[in-house]
Amino acid sequence: MDYQHLAEQYQADLLTDLATLVAVDSTRDVAHATPAAPLGPGPAQALATMLGFAERDGFTTANIDHVAGRIEAGQGDTILGIFGHVDVVPAGSGWTSDPFTTTIANGRVYGRGTADDKGPLLAAYYALRLLHDQGVTLHQRVHLIVGTDEESEWVGINRYLTTEPTPDYGFSPDAEFPIINGEKGIATFALTFHQPQLTPAPLVLTGFSAGLRVNMVPESATATMRGALPADFAKALGEFAAANGVTASLTSTATDTVTVTLTGKGAHALEPKAGVNAATYLATFLTTYAFDAAGAQYLHAIATYLHNDSRGHQLGIAYTDKVMGELTASPDLFSYTPDGPQTIAINVRYPQGTDAATIRDQIETTLGAEHVTVAVAGHAQGPHYVAASDPLVQTLLQTYTDQTGLPGHEQVIGGGTYGRIIPRGVAFGAQPVGQENVMHQANEYMPINALIQAVAIYADAIARLAQ
């Protein structure tokens, strides 16, 4: 069967459905939760929209408490799971087009979720539709499982696994080709600073904030301060910005409050080097000035232990495994008020050989328990690995090679996908080899031909696995 030729026949339909799905701002929003939308109206609407596509095309579906869903195909005792998600991270700033309207230019489709994960999820769905339309008999049950908060706490997929049949094995179309058969552990560490003794100083830090989510390198950061600025402050800020590839703005009010904003580049926290962390640059610039004790402590910790150190050397948590590679550390959320919380959230992706408890202890030891309390925030996930010799991995790699002509090989990443939720789960596409990773960034996109090729690869893979 010429899967590539068949996949091309679905391009117009896929792009139409993608436009419909991208138009739903499906950012997790529990502040506006209802019984019909436990994770917010956007995720619930996106789930209903995705299941609606399948019902339109004749598939049986299930909506699990408006937080997860299933599209069904095939018959048999074994279940092949395909795990995707319809939620997205916040759009953020820096877009040159509406992030919730698909824009096609230069062979690419732009919009929040086109790469992570609405585009790849639809590629997997259209693979099922292709097989259905061609009358291919699947001798296993294939469950395309849709989550609604993969970018945060995984409530949807965890609810699914507690109430619905757990697949025997499967893959997630939420990463890159040729395969991801290993994923590092993921944990976020919440640093809460203790208030030091008050001391007089020329400048008082009255606020510091940055970041949208714990899995996004902050694109912008803002600090407010009160006091007499040196005469050359504005000039020094401009020179610092120019020397470090960031942009800066400076405003002041009649009440002697000064606001400084730095803009860098957002990125997925799985590889902090892909971004320019505005918060650590801003703190590094401000540490050259004399602030009050609390402000100085906060800025000093950022500049000394977090700036330009994505591997955690200055924090004392650096670790490398020969299979899974290096630990990465991404400080992503910052919040400071003089009389309120003074916190930093650090997202760490760690290989096998260490664990979240050890890393927590190391961070607190480095910064000093007398200065800061460190706690694991949210749900921590340990490292996950499926051996390259596993038949699932071998079949997917051979399918990839047969469809693309490119060699397949195992890979380990710092990203976290639904592939890790079952023992024999991997991530498989849909980002092509060599494409820049624009997930969680402004102007997110997928090449249209890559989406169509993914349809062909997934259709072939499903047919082989469920034969």
Nearest CA to 65 among 146, 151, 184, 7? 146
pLDDT in tens, 408-459: 999 998 878 999 999 999 999 999 999 998 999 999 999 999 999 999 999 9
Average pLDDT over residues 264-269: 93
User: Which residues, in sequence order, are bridge partners of residue 61?
Assistant: 71
Domain boundary among 312, 346, 381: 381
The residue type found at 5 is H
267 & 170 share domain: no
Task: Indicate which CATH number applies to the domain containing 294.
Answer: 3.30.70.360
69 & 134 share domain: yes
87 flagged as catalytic: yes
Domain boundary among 319, 349, 381: 381
How many angstroms separate the CA atoms of 373 and 341, rounded? 12
Average pLDDT over residues 164-185: 97
Average pLDDT for the chain? 96
* Three state DSSP letters for 25-50: CCECCHHHCECCECCCHHHHHHHHHH
Q: Of residues 150, 174, 183, 332, which has the active-site annotation?
A: 150
How many angstroms separate the CA atoms of 26 and 29, rounded? 8
150 flagged as catalytic: yes
Domain boundary among 332, 354, 381: 381
Average pLDDT over residues 349-365: 97
More confident residue, 436 or 173: 173
Nearest CA to 148 among 18, 266, 24? 24
139 & 152 share domain: yes
How many angstroms separate the CA atoms of 215 and 93, rounded? 16
Is the pLDDT at 143 greater than 80? The verdict is yes
How many angstroms separate the CA atoms of 41 and 36, rounded? 8
207 & 128 share domain: no
Chain centroid, CA 457 distance in Å: 24
Q: Of residues 17, 87, 174, 364, which has the active-site annotation?
A: 87
Strand 185-193 to strand 342-350: parallel, antiparallel, or no bridges (unpaired)? antiparallel
pLDDT of residue 253: 75
Nearest CA to 48 among 57, 37, 59, 58? 37
What 3-state DSSP class applies to 272?
Answer: helix
Helices assigned H by DSSP within 57-184: 118-133, 155-163
Task: Indicate which CATH number applies to the domain containing 137.
Answer: 3.40.630.10
Given pLDDT bands bounded at 50, 70 and 90, which one contains residue 197?
confident
Token duo for residue 346: 């650090």
169 & 312 share domain: no
Is the pLDDT at 346 greater than 80? The verdict is yes
293 & 155 share domain: no
Residue 170's alpha-carbon distances to 251, 386, 460, in angstroms, are 53, 11, 14
Each residue of 136-147: b (16+ CB within 10 Å) or e? bebebbbbbbbb
How many domains does one find in the chain?
A: 2
Given pLDDT bands bounded at 50, 70 and 90, which one contains residue 254?
low
324 & 404 share domain: no
231 & 369 share domain: yes
Is the pLDDT at 200 greater than 90? The verdict is no
- Domain, as residue range, for 247: 186-381
CA angle 58, 134, 179 (to 5 degrees): 95
Is the pLDDT at 380 greater than 90? The verdict is no
357 & 419 share domain: no
pLDDT of residue 228: 86
CA angle 196, 188, 439 (to 5 degrees): 125
Average pLDDT over residues 24-29: 97
pLDDT of residue 378: 82
Token duo for residue 327: 């630990």
How many angstroms separate the CA atoms of 119 and 446, rounded? 7
234 & 320 share domain: yes
What 3-state DSSP class applies to 331?
Answer: strand
20 & 101 share domain: yes
How many angstroms separate the CA atoms of 8 and 451, rounded? 10
Nearest CA to 428 among 172, 238, 216? 172
312 & 389 share domain: no
pLDDT in tens, 28-54: 999 999 999 999 999 999 999 999 999
